[in-house]
Structure 1
Amino acid sequence: MRTLGIVLLGLILATPVSATTLVPAGNRHAEQPNVPGGSARRTAALQTTYDAKYRRVLKLLQTDRALREKIADTARDYGIDPIHIAGAIVGEHTYNVDAYDRLQTYYVKAASYLGSSFSFKHKGETVDRFVQRPQFAPCAKILDSYDLWACRERIWNTHFAGKVVDGTQFPNDRFGAVFFQPFYAGQTFGLGQLNPLTALQMSDLVHQISRLPRLDAAQPGAVYETIMDPDLTLPYVAATLRTSIDAYRRIAGLDISRNPGITATLYNVGSPEERATALKQENQDRVARGEPPRWPEENYYGWLVNDRIKDLEALF
């Protein structure tokens, strides 16, 4: 088996990026990895359990035929299996927030954000002004929204996070946490529990495929309406999942499209390109040492999706 694994990875690394190796279905971990303390505290504060939250979001999907049809149609548009979208929704509402009983509640919430007055800012400086600073000059000519915001996030990590710049001490925290949480820390909203930075990254792909208007960081109300409105947010969920699948295929030569636990994990942790690059490098090093390759591994969130795969498959 070890020799076979080395041969397979050797083929991955020696063949064109269009050639991929299918990542097997199922979990790599026999037991669920540890759930972060923050998730446990949120669940305890709601006086509920992970299992109760899981059953509630599953019931929403089971009883709302229109929602299942929206998910299936959106998945078709983005060339992915609808189980990936369902897995992301189930994972978020099991470990992040509880699901609403009715889809209509999400539409009502979406409308309330459109007229809200707030901005994406830190200490009075809006993010659209912040990214005009000279440190962001390397990003200036990038047109695609995903690459643009990824570039800006890298500049933040390199030049601002935890540093004093022009007399201002910046938090040693994520770009999205510092500028894109105008209400409270750790916030994500809507059926897909997207954060605003992810939505901005996916804006061009969603515009291209679903023909929805492009998002603008200077119009946060529209960003939050998009996150909350199921008809608008599902394409963004699908685009995020599609981006992860494409990144692993293009960079690491691995096809993760048959493993919803892996796509759910990436939906949860983000940065698919960086993670695919790190895995490719790790496997190159393993081959050099005569060791078998390592498949992508699920976290606690993705583990649940694979563990309950029969429930999700029954939806479609």
Structure 2
Amino acid sequence: MQDHARWHDSDTFTPHHVREPPHRLETEALRKLVPVLALITALIASGAPARAEIRVMPEGNRNAEQPSVPGASVRRTKAGKSTFDAKYEKVRQLLATDSKLMGKIKSTARAYGIDPIHMVGAIVGEHTYNVDAYDRLQSYYVKAAAYAGDSFRFAYEGESVADFVDRPQFSVCADKKGSYALWSCRESVWDKTFRGETVGGTSFPNNRFSAVFFQPFYAGQTFGLGQINPLTALMMTDTVARVSGYERLDENSAAEVYKAIMDPDQSLAYMAAVIRHSIDVYRSVADIDISNNPGITATLYNIGNPDQRAAALAAKNRSGTVEWPEENYYGWLVNEKLPELKALL
């Protein structure tokens, strides 16, 4: 941001042919205008672009019909002898009958400055398409406790992630400030340099950084009420520590990371932080306010990488035409069921 120019009486110009001094009020008005005019002149001279108008995302779905659900989700649901309708109803019932859980959702949403419907949408989407909901909130606490004593670490082929990110290829991330910038940078280095490549005699899978290093049980595993993956938790730990006061997470303490994302209270905080980040980055990068469309925030919660997606959308919209983000199958359900979900609040 440019500094405002500092002006003094000597910066103003008084023509010699003016014989009578101006009225005191006129002089005062002129003095108030001078800094404003100076700032405008400076901005024009510097060629600074005007801030683009923030466009408010329309409510509802862009697609008339639900986009196709991935085969893995279909197979998982069939294997559990269930249906998407049954799973939706089960999680809706959990939210409808557990006032303690709804109270936590509302208070967490307030802390992060978001509408609680975004959190409800993400929970419904995860438990409809990815996992089954437990019948009671207490079951999530019990499940979290089961992980507390486990001894495991984040590693690939015997190399811990802490040692891995100490490789020279990651030196470009050394000056990154904050957990989100740091781990996003490291994920980018993985994608560009290691993913699907052989480096230093080690062959690395053509898979996501989070799947290779941060899921010691099986790839694709997410946890808890918010179905957070460990890499996402490490990215958001600074925000959650600042807003909610939880301890910062460390990649060397895998058990603590799992404990955090399995615990319902902390899981809700991480969920809210993720959603808040998506809303902020679409506003600042793509000049689009998505805060009125829970189907879009749910979609981003499901597919991740909001920074890259916002940048890609911004690039498309530079031509002058306006394209809106589109919901996927998961976000589509949230918007379709929005009246029912809002009634829970």
Fold match by TM threshold 0.5: yes
Equivalent residue, structure 1, for 2:335: 306
The answer (yes or no) to whether the contact 1:162–1:170 under 8 Å persists in 2 is yes
Contact 1:110/1:229 (CA < 8 Å) preserved in 2? yes
Counterpart in 1 of 2:51?
A: 16
Give 1:226's aligned residue.
260
Secondary structure at 2:318's aligned position in 1? Answer: helix
- Aligned residue in 1 for 2:244: 210
Cα-Cα RMSD: 0.9
1:84 to 93, 118, 127: 118
Q: Residue 100 of structure 2 is aligned with which of 59, 66, 70?
A: 66
Contact 1:113 1:222 in 2 (8 A): no
- 1:100-111 residue pairs with structure 2 within 5 A? 100-111=134-145
Map 1:1-316 → 2, pairs under 5 A: 15-16=50-51, 19-285=53-319, 287=320, 292-316=321-345
Contact 1:203 1:215 in 2 (8 A): yes
Kindly provide the amino acid, as one letter, of the partner of residue 16 in structure 1: R
Q: State the shift of 1:109 in Å.
A: 1.1
* Distance (Å, rounded) in 2 between the aligned partners of 1:29 and 1:271: 22
More off after superposition, 102-111 vs 56-65:
102-111
Distance in 2 separating the partners of 1:126 and 1:115 = 20
Shift of the alpha carbon at 1:170? 0.5
Matches of 1:187 and 1:261 in 2, distance apart?
23
1:315 is displaced (CA, Å) by 1.1
State the alpha-carbon separation in 2 of the partners of residues 138 and 114 from structure 1: 34
Point out the structure with max Rg over C-alpha. 2
Deviation larger for 79-88 or 179-188: 179-188
Rounded to whole Å, the distance in 2 between the matches of 1:132 and 1:99 is: 39
Per-residue deviation at 1:15?
4.3
Bigger relative contact order, structure 1 or 2 (CA pairs below 8 A, ≥6 apart) = 1
C-alpha separation in 2, matches of 1:105 and 1:183: 21
Name the structure 1 match of 2:23.
none
Residue 31 of structure 2 is matched in structure 1 by none
Cα distance in 1 between the residues matched to 2:107 and 2:51: 32
Residue equivalent to 2:5:
none
In structure 1, C-alpha distance between the alignment counterparts of 2:135 and 2:328, rounded to whole Å: 27
- Alignment correspondent of 2:10: none
- The CA distance in 2 between the partners of 1:30 and 1:268, in whole Å, is 20
CA distance in 1, matches of 2:289, 2:63: 19
5+ residue gaps in structure 2? 1-48
Gaps of 5+ in 1: 1-13
Opposite residue 82 of structure 2, the aligned amino acid is: T
Runs of 4+ in 1 over 2 A off after TM superposition: none
For residues 163 and 182 of structure 2, the distance between their equivalents in structure 1, rounded to whole angstroms, comes to 15
Aligned mates of 1:106, 1:123 — CA distance in 2: 31
Q: Matched residues in 1 for 2:243 and 2:65: separation? A: 38
Classify the secondary structure of the residue corresponding to 2:334: helix
C-alpha displacement of 1:143 = 2.7
Structure-1 separation of matches of 2:291 and 2:254:
32
1:180 Cα offset (Å) = 0.6
Q: Identity, % of aligned pairs?
A: 61
* Structure 2: distance between partners of 1:253 and 1:143: 24
For residues 124 and 231 of structure 2, the distance between their equivalents in structure 1, rounded to whole angstroms, comes to 21
Provide the TM-score with structure 2 as the length reference: 0.85
TM-score normalised according to structure 1 size = 0.93
Q: Distance in 1 between matches of 2:50 and 2:81?
A: 52
Tell me, in whole angstroms, the C-alpha distance in 1 between the residues paired with 2:175 and 2:281: 22
